[in-house]
A and B are shown apart, each in its own frame.
Chain A
Amino acid sequence: MNYLLKNSRRGNGAWKPIISTLVILLFTGFFYFFVPQFANQSLYTFARPIWSTRDYVAGKFTNLWSTLADKTGLAAENSSLQKKLDEARTALLDLEAYKKENDELKKILGRNPAEKKMLAVVLAKPNRSLYDTLVLDAGEKQGVKVGDKVLSGDFVIGQVRAVYANYSKAVLASSPGERFTVRIATSSIDTEATGRGGGNFIAKLPKEIPIKRGDLIKSPGLEPRFFGVVGDIEQTETSSFQFILFKLPVNINTLEWVEVVMNEKISNSNY
């Protein structure tokens, strides 16, 4: 007696993976289209204790490592860092004085746009996904709105693009393909900068404009924000343009908290 082998039967579950995939997608799609706030909020509520535990464990391991590390090396590093910190403090004193003077002058001239900033803890950083996004612990209840700027110090690092009850998602300004207008160094020439991922940007300018490494990149306007520091300049003999490669001075992978500027509405294309 001949039997058909199990695997040679025609149409033996060929459609099963497709149907089951569609069922999963339809089920999830239902939640994301009809109750998106509920779906995202639940996901973040579930994620938060895990992220807190991760940060706690990571902190403990860092402390453990510093206990085990070479003491002489650490002492040398400490003294070198102390020296750099003193230099930076002195430089900051000047900067603070100029900043205060600038604010007072603007107040006298009637141009003092009050801005409300809020501290937000970074729950997830860009190295977790391809998306180059930050998950923040402040949302609608705390007054965060879509379009709010995200800052680290005086540097713009991104923009809030999705807001949930207690959480929000911000896309980094350096996310690949993000475009915005910048002013390079002390020149009054504006150009378009494009994000290249991981805190890096590129901008194109005519070769004649003098730019040097370390120049600050800012936004045009009365209340300029900074985007980065020029790291490299690419020029070729045949081209009439130069490419300015600049980057954020902060490491976005080690960010623990950021500031959200809550009263500045900005369009998607411009920071």
Chain B
Amino acid sequence: MRTRIVVDILLFLGVFVLPLWLICPAAIICLFLFENFYEIIIVAIFIDGLYGMPTRFLSIPAIFTLSASIIFIARSFLKKHLRF
């Protein structure tokens, strides 16, 4: 539990400090390391809220939240068939 709290704090601070290519893989790794890692959706909400803007290329306004939700649901079904 303590590890998870430390990871959560680092991950949330990372949203403000670290580049995206470091945060995304870290969040996905945590998703497989911890049970029900809801924090991935909250991290994505933070990214969308801070930097998100519908552009012509990314016309969906909350692309990270949407992706994180799909990954989170997919992982919970996938994990039953994986030994991790």
| A in complex with B | yes
Residues on A lying within 8 angstroms of B by beta carbon are 7, 14, 16-18, 20-21, 24-25, 28, 32, 39-40, 43-44, 47, 50-51, 54, 124, 127-133, 135, 161-162, 169, 171, 175-179
Residue contacts A-B, CB under 8 angstroms, 14 given = A17-B36, A17-B73, A17-B77, A20-B36, A21-B69, A21-B73, A39-B49, A43-B49, A47-B50, A124-B16, A127-B20, A128-B18, A129-B50, A129-B64
**Is B56 a contact of A128 with CB atoms below 8 Å?**
no
Residue of A nearest to B54 (CB): A161
Q: Give the complex CA separation of A135 and B51 in angstroms.
A: 7
CB of B50 within 8 A of CB of A171, answer no
Chain B nearest Cβ from A15, distance in angstroms: 10
The answer to whether B20 and A175 touch across the interface, beta carbons within 8 angstroms, is no
Binding site for A on B (CB under 8 A): 13, 16-20, 36, 38, 41-42, 45-47, 49-53, 55-58, 63-65, 69, 72-73, 76-77, 80
Contact A176 to B41, CB < 8 A, known contacts A17-B72, A17-B76, A124-B50 = no
Query: How many whole Å from B9's CB to the nearest CB in chain A?
Result: 12
- Is the Cβ of B41 less than 8 Å from the Cβ of A169? no
Which residues of chain A are near B73, meaning CB under 8 Å?
17-18, 21
Chain A residue contacts of B18, Cβ below 8 A: 128
Known: A24-B42, A176-B57, A179-B56. A128 touches B69 (CB 8 A): no
The verdict on A130 contacting B63 (CB below 8 Å), with A24-B38, A50-B13 known, is yes
Q: Closest 3 A-B residue pairs measured CB to CB?
A: A177-B56, A129-B51, A176-B57
The answer to whether A43 and B46 touch across the interface, beta carbons within 8 angstroms, is yes
Closest to A131 in B: B51
Q: Which of B19, B51, B69 has the most CB of A within 10 A?
A: B51
Contact B57 A175 (CB under 8 A): yes
For the complex formed, measure the closest distance between the CB of A43 and the CB atoms of chain B, giving whole angstroms: 5
CA distance A103 to B69 in the complex (A): 55
Whether B49 pairs with A131 at a CB distance below 8 angstroms is no
**Bound complex: CA A133 to CA B53 (Å):** 7
Is there an interface contact between A169 and B20, defined as CB atoms closer than 8 Å? no
The smallest beta-carbon distance between A163 and chain B, in angstroms, is 12
Contact of A175 with B56 in the complex, beta carbons under 8 Å: yes
